[in-house]
């Protein structure tokens, strides 16, 4: 799964990486982004429009659920294209969720021991996401996850689906809606690009810390 991440790369740099318009406001660095908060995401409205940054609620519940559906923060890549709750978003409303790294916890550790997972070259990551309009007209999103790979699997059996550079435009493309076409065009990054290390248990309580010290080795 992916239940906590960090984003501190300036949005204008991220915008250049995905060919998006630079947002008017630069978000503050966040080192402990938790579900149920507003996060930065990139989406593309039409084929002839450039991608844009949008603020989305991290929790997916389409308005047709009328406030009664679950509000998952993740969607499994194995079923996102066929699950009734997600499949329309997978076909028509895909987004990118930028991050610099994410946190996972070693199972059965007491206290729960978090690890920070990121690229070995410290370049930003782009998680595959889906989104839908919520009851109030805002957008809510979920991060697509896949089985853990490489060193990330040492910490958890799931990880975000992190797209390689060549896949970003295809994931955003609103005219690409066929399941098999999407799968043929989209690739995850090489597992060897990821590493992790133990960090402070202060990560366990997002309200108590947002500073860059959170990603320092414990």
Active-site pick, 2, 95, 118, 141:
2
State the CB neighbour count (10 A cutoff) for residue 193: 17
Q: Which two tokens stand for residue 198?
A: 């133990």
State the Cα–Cα distance between residues 26 and 90, nearest whole angstrom.
Answer: 28
Strand partners for 159? 146
Active-site pick, 95, 104, 118, 195:
104
State the Cα–Cα distance between residues 15 and 24, nearest whole angstrom.
Answer: 11
State the Cα–Cα distance between residues 154 and 34, nearest whole angstrom.
Answer: 22
Cis amide leading into 157 (omega within 30): no
Active site residue 2: yes
What order of strands is seen across the sheet that includes strand 194-198? 30-33, 5-7, 101-105, 114-119, 194-198
Residue with tokens 């690739």: 187
CA angle 168, 61, 75 (to 5 degrees): 45
Active site residue 104: yes
Nearest to 196 by CA among 98, 101, 59, 89: 101
- Residues marked as catalytic: 2, 104
């Amino acid at each position: 799964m992916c239940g906590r991440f960090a984003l501190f790369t300036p949005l204008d740099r991220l915008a250049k990486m995905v060919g998006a318009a630079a947002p008017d406001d630069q978000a503050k660095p966040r080192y402990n982004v938790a579900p149920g908060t507003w996060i930065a995401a990139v989406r593309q409205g039409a084929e002839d429009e450039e991608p844009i940054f949008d603020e989305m609620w991290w929790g997916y519940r389409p308005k047709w659920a009328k406030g009664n559906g679950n509000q998952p923060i993740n969607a499994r890549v194995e079923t996102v294209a066929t699950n009734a709750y997600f499949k329309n978003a997978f076909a028509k409303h895909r987004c990118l969720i930028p991050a610099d790294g994410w946190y996972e916890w070693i199972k059965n550790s007491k206290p729960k021991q978090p690890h920070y997972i990121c690229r070995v070259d410290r370049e930003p990551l782009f998680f595959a996401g889906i989104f839908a309009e919520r009851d109030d007209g805002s957008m809510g999103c979920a991060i697509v996850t896949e089985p853990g790979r490489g060193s990330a699997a040492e910490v958890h059996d799931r990880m975000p689906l992190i797209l390689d550079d060549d896949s970003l435009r295809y994931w955003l493309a609103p005219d690409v809606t066929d399941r098999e076409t999407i799968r043929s065009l989209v690739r995850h990054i090489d597992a060897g690009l990821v590493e992790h290390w133990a960090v402070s248990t202060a990560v366990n309580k997002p309200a108590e810390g947002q500073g860059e010290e959170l990603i320092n080795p414990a």
